[in-house]
Structure 1
Amino acid sequence: MDILTPVTLAGPHARLEPLSPDHCAGLQAAAADGELWKLWYTTIPSAEGMQVEIERRLGLHAKGTMLPFTVFNADGEVAGMTTFMNVDRVQRRVEIGSTWYRASSQRTPLNTQCKLLLLTHAFEALDCIAVEFRTHRLNTQSRRAIERLGAQLDGILRAHQRMPDGTLRDTAVYSITANEWPTVKTHLQWQLIKPR
């Protein structure tokens, strides 16, 4: 299967569907839950900018560098977006990124379920050798979430890119390799069933 083939992935706590312009209203409502675009250390579209963001992601899919998803929670409500991005078909590597969830879905099983679905697809259906995660060095919430998955810190790309407000972003790069996947999978499955 090609990495960029659209697919729906589903589990008890989340469903990932190929991104569609039809999801715009739900994504606008999700971004408004917590006014996520106000977080300075990340780039999340505002309600007004959602249509442009959808078009951007679908354009990157057409160019062969991204497979974007809309994330739905267990109740069928739009919860956010995620992607396979920086697709390397030759080396069979992807990054899971450009992910955001409505505030009311954060700190729930949703993120763990999404990552389990995406990682299972990457390693078991797409035969990837590694999956990366990147985030702002100062986005401690995101870094802790990535570390809870079992990803290892590869390093920090200093002054890696300019943020919309003009500040420079140091990017923390994490990865999970194919050899690590069986243990990480067991860990994520346990995270979803352990008592809370």
Structure 2
Amino acid sequence: MPLPVYLHGRTVRLEPLAERHIEALTTAAAEDRSSYAFTPVPHGLDATARYVADALAAQEAGRALPFATVRVADGTVVGSTRFCELDYWQGPVIWPPAPRGPVGDPLDAVPDAAEIGATWLSARAQGTGINTEAKLLMLRHAFESWGVRRVSMRADARNARSRAAIERLGAVLEGVHRAHTRGLDGLVRGTAFYSILDEEWPAARIALEHRVGAERPAAAPERPLISA
């Protein structure tokens, strides 16, 4: 499974999610919560502890790579995001196709496809450019370090704000799965699915780098961490 890494940008740093982030995430999520109607964001210390525990369990199982989102200017934790739905295509072809874990040594494995999801920011961090640069860092890592063939994203079809943010990344709308699942409000919702393919990444990268105000964001090298 992919090793945890720090991803460094000018305005944001993505740190491997850990229990030490629980209190800061609780504080970040306690700001104005009116923008979370379609986004699962923990509320309160106990809920945040469970949120982190679930994310770390998914990481241990090789299904996810979660991050704490940190504002560089003051070191404040302002939210969370993660790679999820990691899919490995090595080994014999299976039919029907289904997501599967790595073949061989899991510590040496990197995914062939991934999804970026479970993203949320504190109210005061929204609209500051942090999300855009965080996505640039993650997409760069997925396509250029892992060498994935595709990165997927999804949103509640009713969530116009999230869908617009995904589209600004250069992601292509694949379609809307109608009556796909239940939303946070308990109503049956459609889900909009987006993706960026490896051959589309160079153009998307140029546009994203322009948006964050630099040809290439100043970044320290990614530092793999061997987890205990």
Range into which the TM-score falls when normalised by the shorter chain? over 0.9
Name the structure 1 match of 2:131. 111
Instruction: Provide the C-alpha distance between the structure 2 equivalents of 1:26 and 1:176, rounded to a whole number of angstroms.
Output: 32
Name the structure 1 match of 2:43. 46
Name the structure 2 match of 1:84. 83
Instruction: Provide the C-alpha distance between the structure 2 equivalents of 1:26 and 1:173, rounded to a whole number of angstroms.
Output: 31
Instruction: Provide the C-alpha distance between the structure 1 equivalents of 2:43 and 2:17, rounded to a whole number of angstroms.
Output: 17
Structure 1 runs of 4+ off > 3 angstroms?
Answer: none
Percent sequence identity over aligned pairs: 40
TM-score by structure 1 length?
Answer: 0.93
Q: Post-superposition shift, 1:166? A: 2.0
Instruction: Select 2:120's aligned residue among 87, 100, 109.
Output: 100
Structure number with greater CO (CA < 8 Å, separation at least 6) is: 2
The structure with the larger Rg is: 2
Name the structure 2 match of 1:182. 202
Name the structure 1 match of 2:169. 149
Q: Is the deviation greater in 38-47 or in 79-88?
A: 38-47
Instruction: Provide the C-alpha distance between the structure 2 equivalents of 1:139 and 1:118, rounded to a whole number of angstroms.
Output: 22
For structure 2, the 5+ residue unaligned runs are 90-110, 215-228
The alignment of Structure 1 onto Structure 2 pairs a total of residues equal to: 191
1:59 and 2:57 correspond: yes
Instruction: Provide the C-alpha distance between the structure 2 equivalents of 1:69 and 1:151, rounded to a whole number of angstroms.
Output: 21
Change beyond 3 A, Cα 1:143–1:164 = closer
| Paired letter, 2:191 | T
Q: Post-superposition shift, 1:190? A: 0.3
> Which protein has the bigger helix share?
1
TM-score by structure 2 length?
Answer: 0.80
Conservation of the 8 A alpha-carbon contact between 2:82 and 2:118:
yes
